[in-house]
Structure 1
Amino acid sequence: MPVTRRSLLAAGLALPAALSAPSARAQTAKLTVVATTGMIADAARQVGGEAVEVRALMGPGVDPHAYRQTRSDIAAMARADLVLWHGLYLEAQMEDFFRDLAKRRRVVAVAERIAPARLIAHDEYKDKFDPHVWMNPDLWAEVAAAVRDAMIAARPAARAAFEANAAAHLQMIAALATYSRMVLGSVPEARRVLVTAHDAFNYFGAAYGFQVEGIQGISTESEAGLTRIRELVDLLVARKIGAIFIESSVSDRNVRALIEGAAARGHTVAIGGELFSDAMGETGTYEGTYIGMIDHNVTVIARALGGEAPARGMTQRLAAK
């Protein structure tokens, strides 16, 4: 059955009414929260509502693998009631700082709540894991729950509001997971190959049955060698893959090298679209929320690789192309 607005509704995705979570109205001063990534900051805003003031250190287009905190960032975290960071070696360059700050402030690595058995081993560091868990909404639900629990611990008086807001947000994440399975399942199996700038989509591939190939490794600071470029050109030609993807927070130089390499061998490859990998869309847009970020990615991938998905996504809120 084509993936249409009607089929989404039939699957239980009557979504727009759930987009505005209940507001949290604490009678005390707002809880000040500093989050490293935009995804964590979005979870904090969804859970906290009007009871929180949230600052994200890493905005749209910022690569967390290479991010370095500024003096103003350090000052903000030192003053915050709660600092939320991802963990799983995403902010490797800041880990010592967070562990030291935790001796004086409330600091929580929210992604480290996920059981190791559900994580993918890091391809470069022993005993470390791929940190890109937000690519699977089922895993991200655990992170959102960790954000909820950290905020309740920091502001017990607002428990009821935080729990109600979190329940609404988790319902949206569950709907997103259902939508993702539906539209990605419409991609022909032979075309389920996702080639991107770096290995940010391994959890996506594991969840939805896609072969995922990143030009660079899990960290964008790893280099893509000529051997890797040749390997991927061979794959594109042999599998007759017609679309590969750029990322909003990673240079497209290597992606274009693949396109040129395939063209030199008589095979045409197009850019299937820009995906959000390590950062969300612009602030104030639907794509600048976690739900919108993943809705965008799933919809763009499905449509570019021969599947069926509504042009404006799960909620009909994606920017018109």
Structure 2
Amino acid sequence: MKKIILVLLITAFAWSCKNSKETNGKLQVVTTTTMITDLVENIGSDYIDVNGLMGSGVDPHLYKASEGDVNKLAQADVIFYGGLHLEGKLVEVFEKMASQNINTIAVSDALDVKTLIGSEYFASNYDPHIWFDVHNWEIITQFVVEKLTEANPEHQAVFEKNGADYLEKLKVLNENIKSVISTLPAEKRILVTAHDAFSYFGQAYGFEVIGLQGLSTATEAGVQDVQNLATFIIDKQVKSIFIESSVPKRTIEALQASVKSKGFDVQIGGTLYSDALGNAGTDEGTYIGMFTYNVNTIVKALR
């Protein structure tokens, strides 16, 4: 019922605001996750106004739209979201807006479905954490350039230039990631985290990845899940496990306690950024800074 009410509110508000936007001449863009916000800001720079719905540490799987979000969505010329049911509780809203010819774009549409990681445990049947393969983010960067150009063709040259500059930065990032990971022996490349957000990372960079919870943080880990993973950690002699910034740390702490009760000492290797970037204004508040921080944290703790 709440979702229906939210959709009706957005529809009514969008209709009433359609001809009364105060846009100061700039394209009004709304984004969902911090990763998408960072990307769109890099491409649009000063030629668009970007409103991100979610901030640092926010879990998109459980996010609920506020009244303020309704206002932002209604005022938007373009809306970029992750797709693949990443924003679980907003899916119906975006589908309804798309059916009303509102320019609502899932960045995951940029990717060939054959390259997606399947999962029988997630509503879309695909893992939505696509940003953890830099190659995916390169493809999505080009896609966002195209979509912003379609919405604002007079600034095509700016968007294409910014996109090209950002792609070069992503290329350097990918090279740096591989260089750091090369210092970690292959047998130590086992990444255990709070939920299953790092499968694209594991596939791209040669890690075995296991999340205590499923792909969505709405899925709770049971006692048997903890016990089974504790046994795995001991069998594989995993040195460190990791908390995630957008997931309560109690599940990983429970896993650590379970491992220690069996006579093996596993450390918490640090906090990784998974479904959200770090605080605005910090290195970790950008996609490139977040990825660099994560890789350095992982390799240092597992080495």
> TM-score scaled to structure 1, two decimals?
0.84
Aligned equivalent of 2:243? 246
Deviates more, 1:99-108 or 1:245-254: 99-108
Aligned equivalent of 1:317? none
Whole-Å separation in 1 of the counterparts to 2:85 and 2:157: 32
CA contact (8 A) 1:111 1:143 kept: yes
Whole-Å separation in 2 of the counterparts to 1:107 and 1:187: 42
- Please provide the CA RMSD for this pair: 1.2
Question: Structure 2: 5+ residue runs without aligned partners?
Answer: 1-23
Whole-Å separation in 1 of the counterparts to 2:245 and 2:92: 28
Aligned equivalent of 1:171? 168
CA contact (8 A) 2:29 2:80 kept: yes
CA contact (8 A) 2:60 2:88 kept: no
Aligned equivalent of 1:9? none
Counterpart pick for 1:193 among 190, 195, 201: 190
Structure 2 CA distance for partners of 1:127 and 1:245, relative to 1, 3 Å: closer
**Alignment-mate amino acid for residue 74 of structure 2:** A
Whole-Å separation in 2 of the counterparts to 1:241 and 1:194: 9
CA contact (8 A) 2:85 2:124 kept: no
Counterpart pick for 1:54 among 27, 50, 54: 50
Matched residue of 1:197: which SS? Answer: strand
**Alignment-mate amino acid for residue 231 of structure 1:** N
Structure 2 CA distance for partners of 1:199 and 1:81, relative to 1, 3 Å: same
Whole-Å separation in 2 of the counterparts to 1:254 and 1:126: 23
Matched residue of 2:105: which SS? Answer: strand
Whole-Å separation in 2 of the counterparts to 1:158 and 1:122: 39
CA contact (8 A) 2:191 2:207 kept: yes
Per-residue CA deviations over 1:138-169 (Å, capped at 9, x if unaligned) read 11111122211111111000000000001011
Aligned equivalent of 1:309? none
CA contact (8 A) 2:30 2:79 kept: yes
**Alignment-mate amino acid for residue 38 of structure 2:** D
**Alignment-mate amino acid for residue 256 of structure 1:** E
Deviates more, 1:251-260 or 1:181-190: 181-190
Aligned residues: 279
Counterpart pick for 2:281 among 272, 280, 284: 284
Question: Structure 1: 5+ residue runs without aligned partners?
Answer: 1-27, 307-321
Whole-Å separation in 2 of the counterparts to 1:233 and 1:100: 43
Aligned equivalent of 2:294? 297
Aligned equivalent of 2:25? 29
Aligned equivalent of 2:64? 68
**Alignment-mate amino acid for residue 217 of structure 2:** T
Whole-Å separation in 2 of the counterparts to 1:163 and 1:192: 37
**Which structure 2 residues correspond to residues 54-203 of structure 1 after superposition, within 5 A?**
54-102=50-98, 103-125=100-122, 128-203=125-200
More helix by share: 2
Deviation at 1:105, TM superposition (A): 2.3
Deviates more, 1:125-134 or 1:53-62: 125-134
Deviates more, 1:230-239 or 1:244-253: 230-239
Deviation at 1:127, TM superposition (A): 5.6
Deviates more, 1:278-287 or 1:262-271: 262-271
CA contact (8 A) 1:197 1:250 kept: yes
Structure 2 CA distance for partners of 1:304 and 1:136, relative to 1, 3 Å: same
Whole-Å separation in 2 of the counterparts to 1:164 and 1:58: 27
Post-superposition, which runs of at least 4 consecutive aligned residues in structure 1 deviate over 6 A?
none
Aligned equivalent of 1:270? 267
Deviation at 1:104, TM superposition (A): 4.1
CA contact (8 A) 1:123 1:218 kept: no
**Alignment-mate amino acid for residue 261 of structure 1:** S
